Structure formats: structure tokens, C-alpha cells
């Protein structure tokens, strides 16, 4: 992610009036932001709309980025807040214990899901699909830790938590992911750790 100009140089350019330079930042982070929004929305159309909204918000607020943290950490804070607002609007209960049920139902209703699994037998596809069955906050913390190059301290900053709380949340998310894999993909899991 550090190819070409670094983020701070691009931000300086944008702040001094070169609006087109912002496209470099969008290109650099679009997959990360889109993956995170997809974890929340579970739907590509909504995810794309929310992700675009996030980049527009970030552009408007760019003067507030002071460079005290990585640009990505600052951007993911906007992702987290925007996605939570999106879920609230959709009236999905983020912290409710019922969330398990909500996603189980979504899982069983998705007729293409199993077919997709037959086509994509790889471990990677299985993990991606298992993450799709997690609650948004579990899926988000796993994505931030494993794909978005964020340390536990940075994740804590993004989610507005203490570092230890973020650590515990990550452990619990991984435990729940493992349970999902064992429950929904038992055959594939047997090949990995019998």
C-alpha cells in the first residue's frame, strides 16, 4: 500500500487544491473500505453506496486529518461510524443476542450460497463465506486485524475501545468464526484439522 506517493503527500496535494489526487487514495483503499462495508450490509449494492458515501465524507473532512495516526486508521473510523449509522437506519440490532438468529436465517435463505460453495471448494472461499455468517462487528474486527494492516491499538482507536477490550473482542470473534466453520462447513474443516 506504500507504492508511489505516500498517503500524507497525496493528502497535502488534495488540501492544496488538487482534487484529482484524491482518486489515488480512493483506488488505494476502495477494496478495504468496500470489504468492510460489505461485512455490515451483507449486500453488494448497499455496500458500494455506503463505501462511496464514506469516501465523500472523508474528502469533506480531510482538513481534520492531522496525521497523528495512519490515514487508513482515520478512514476506517469513518467506515465504522457510517456503517453503524447505516445499520441503525436499517433497524438491525447490532449488539443483540438475536443477531445469531438473524444471520442464520439470512444464511438459509440464500439459495446461491451452497451452490457457490460447491463451485468454490477452496479454504479461502470457505473462510470468506464463514466470515459472511458472522455478525457485522465480529466480521469487522477480523477484517481489520487480518486484512487492513491495523494493530490492536489502532483497531481499538477505530472502534472507540480500550486495547484490551479490542483484544478480547478479536478472540471472541475468532472463536465464533471457528464455531461457524465447524457447524456449516464440517466436511471442509475435517480436511483441515480432523
Partner 1 sequence: MNENYKNSPLGAGGTEERLWNYIDGTSSADEKLVIEKLLQENAEWREKYRELLEVNSMLRSIELEEPSMRFTKNVMEGIAKLQIAPATKSYINKKIIWGIGIFFITLVVGFLVYGFGQVDWTAKGDTKIPIDLGKVDYSKFFNNTYVNVFMMINVVLGLFLLDRYLANKRKQFREEA
Q: Residues interacting with partner 1, by CB under 8 A? A: 14-15, 19-20, 22-23, 26-27, 30-32, 34-35, 38, 44, 47-48, 51-52, 55-56, 59-64, 95, 123-124, 126-128, 131, 142-143, 146-147, 152, 161, 165, 167-171, 174-175, 177-178, 181, 192-193
CB of 26 to partner 1, least distance (A): 5
Judged by beta carbon, residue 103 or residue 155, the one nearer partner 1 is 155
Q: Which is nearer to partner 1, 55 or 74 (CB)?
A: 55
Chain-centre distance for alpha carbon 151 = 15
Q: Shortest Cβ distance from residue 4 to partner 1 (Å)? A: 15
Rounded to a whole number of angstroms, the minimum distance from the CB of residue 48 to partner 1 is: 5
Instruction: Output the smallest distance, CB 165 to partner 1, in A.
Output: 6
CA–centroid distance for 93 within its chain: 18
- DSSP, collapsed to helix, strand or coil, labels residue 20 as helix
Tell whether the torsion through CA atoms of 149, 145, 23 and 84 is positive or negative.
negative
Q: Is 37 helix (H, G, I), strand (E, B) or coil?
A: helix
Please tell me what DSSP assigns to residue 21: G
Cα–Cα distance between 22 and 98 in angstroms, integer?
Answer: 40
Backbone torsions φ then ψ of 84, nearest 5 degrees: -65, -40
Nearer to partner 1, 23 or 105 (CB): 23
> Do 76 and 148 meet the contact criterion of CB atoms below 8 Å apart?
yes
**Closest distance to partner 1 from the beta carbon of 79 (Å):** 13
User: From start to end of 25-134, where are the E strands?
Assistant: none
Contacts (Cβ under 8 Å, ≥6 apart) of 63: 15
By beta-carbon proximity to partner 1, the closer residue of 103 and 177 is 177
Amino acid at each position: 500500500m506504500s507504492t508511489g506517493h505516500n498517503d500524507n503527500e497525496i493528502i497535502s496535494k488534495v488540501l492544496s487544491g488538487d482534487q484529482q489526487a484524491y482518486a489515488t487514495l480512493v483506488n488505494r483503499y476502495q477494496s478495504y473500505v468496500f470489504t468492510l462495508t460489505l461485512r455490515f450490509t451483507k449486500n453488494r449494492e448497499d455496500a458500494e453506496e455506503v463505501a462511496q458515501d464514506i469516501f465523500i465524507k472523508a474528502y469533506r473532512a480531510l482538513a481534520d486529518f492531522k496525521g497523528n495516526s495512519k490515514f487508513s486508521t482515520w478512514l476506517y473510523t469513518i467506515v465504522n461510524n457510517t456503517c453503524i449509522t447505516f445499520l441503525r437506519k436499517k433497524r438491525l440490532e447490532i449488539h443483540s443476542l438475536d443477531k445469531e438468529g438473524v444471520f442464520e436465517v439470512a444464511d438459509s435463505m440464500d439459495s446461491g450460497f451452497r451452490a457457490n460453495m460447491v463451485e468454490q471448494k477452496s479454504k479461502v472461499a470457505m473462510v470468506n463465506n464463514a466470515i459472511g455468517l458472522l455478525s457485522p462487528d465480529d466480521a469487522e474486527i477480523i477484517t481489520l486485524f487480518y486484512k487492513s494492516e491495523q494493530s490492536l491499538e489502532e483497531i481499538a482507536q477505530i472502534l472507540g475501545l480500550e486495547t484490551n477490550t479490542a483484544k478480547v473482542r478479536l478472540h471472541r470473534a475468532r472463536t465464533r468464526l471457528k464455531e461457524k466453520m465447524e457447524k456449516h462447513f464440517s466436511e471442509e474443516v475435517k480436511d483441515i484439522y480432523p
